[in-house]
Amino acid sequence: MKKFLLIDGYAMMFRAFYAVKFAPIHEGKPIGAVFGCATTILQALEKFDPEFLVVAFDAREKTFRHKMDKNYKAQRSKAPDEFIEQIPLVMEMIKSFGISTLIKPGFEADDIIGTLVKKAEKKDIESFILSGDLDFLQLISDKIHLAKFNGAQPLMYDRALTFEKMGIYPEQIIDYKAVCGDSSDNYKGVGGIGPKTCVNLLTEYKTFENIYKNLDKLKPKVREKLENDRDYAHHCKILAEIHTNVPVEFSLNEDNHFELEPDNFHNFFNKVNFGSLHKRVHKLNNKDTQEQESSPSGLQASLF
């Protein structure tokens, strides 16, 4: 089965920005995030060896979720200037690998990725989403997996691991977030209903809609909380759902198979003095080569 690797661009970049402890310098400015992203991509290519590859980024413009809810992600502080300054060079690095980047105004990277993995599923292509965002759990199926950043190796979420970690199944994640909310995205769900109660409700009644159809069977206090926040819970459910019909173009035909472009990325590595990565790319292009290289001092062995 062919494989499709989809990378959550800003999730990768933020992880790299804070994970790289040393500070490579280019034109007088630190570019640790660029080095970290390059390392992450190389590790991902080694692990997944995908036929298709894309990196999706959030657009600068407000999304439909921001227009629905003025408080959506409003608590998040601005990224550090040192991070923002590295974005153009990260984009240049990704391009040097011959990797497509996708941005769609009005939507988040999650929606782009959701659209593409569903498209791939219909073509019997297995997809791996590389991100630290558990929102992607709602997309998991037999052919869609979340490779969650997790130290030395990504934690590979499938249906079974989702249930083991969350107590619910992928198709219940949206309903869970509707009731419990999501503090990272700044919506609260039903006031006074925590994860344990929410999991119990979904275990018993399976869906958000069915919970509300059975309010008369619930304990009075739980029923009251759900009744009081019924409209807001519906609102949160819309915020929680990843869209899978975003108008983005990305071919999953053989003529769009991913191939490394050695001249381009070697030129880029030379430009930014990432000489230590040349050997790693050579090893990737010659998989039977057993040569091992050491990472620069201060860099974790893996950025997964």
Q: What's the confidence (pLDDT) of residue 283?
A: 74
Q: What's the confidence (pLDDT) of residue 252?
A: 96
Q: Which two tokens stand for residue 196?
A: 């344990």
How far is the C-alpha of 179 from the C-alpha of 60, rounded, in Å?
29
Q: What's the confidence (pLDDT) of residue 292?
A: 43
DSSP code of 207? S
Q: What's the confidence (pLDDT) of residue 20?
A: 86
Q: What's the confidence (pLDDT) of residue 223?
A: 98
Q: How many degrees, rounded to 5, is the angle at CA 145 between CA 43 and CA 235?
A: 120
CA Rg value for the chain: 21
Q: How many degrees, rounded to 5, is the angle at CA 16 between CA 150 and CA 140?
A: 40
Percent helix, percent strand, percent coil in the chain, to nearest 5: 50, 10, 40
Q: What's the confidence (pLDDT) of residue 303?
A: 63
Q: What's the confidence (pLDDT) of residue 276?
A: 84
Torsion angle, alpha carbons of 25, 27, 29, 32, to 10: -40
To the question of pTM greater than 0.85 for the whole model, the response is yes
How far is the C-alpha of 127 from the C-alpha of 142, rounded, in Å?
10
Single out the residue of 88, 93, 85, 24 nearest to residue 298, CA to CA.
24
How far is the C-alpha of 88 from the C-alpha of 268, rounded, in Å?
13
Per-residue pLDDT of the chain (304 residues), as tens digits, is: 999 999 999 999 999 999 887 778 999 999 999 999 999 999 999 999 999 999 999 998 999 999 999 999 999 999 999 999 999 999 999 999 999 999 999 999 999 999 999 999 999 999 999 999 999 999 999 999 999 998 778 999 999 999 999 999 999 999 999 999 999 999 999 999 999 999 999 999 999 999 999 999 999 999 999 999 999 999 999 999 999 999 999 999 988 999 887 778 889 999 999 988 877 877 776 654 444 444 444 444 466 7
Cα 162 vs. chain centroid, distance in angstroms? Answer: 15
How far is the C-alpha of 225 from the C-alpha of 191, rounded, in Å?
7
Q: Domains in the chain and their CATH numbers?
A: 3-158+243-285 (3.40.50.1010), 165-240 (1.10.150.20)
Cβ neighbours of residue 294 closer than 8 Å, sequence gap 6 or more: none
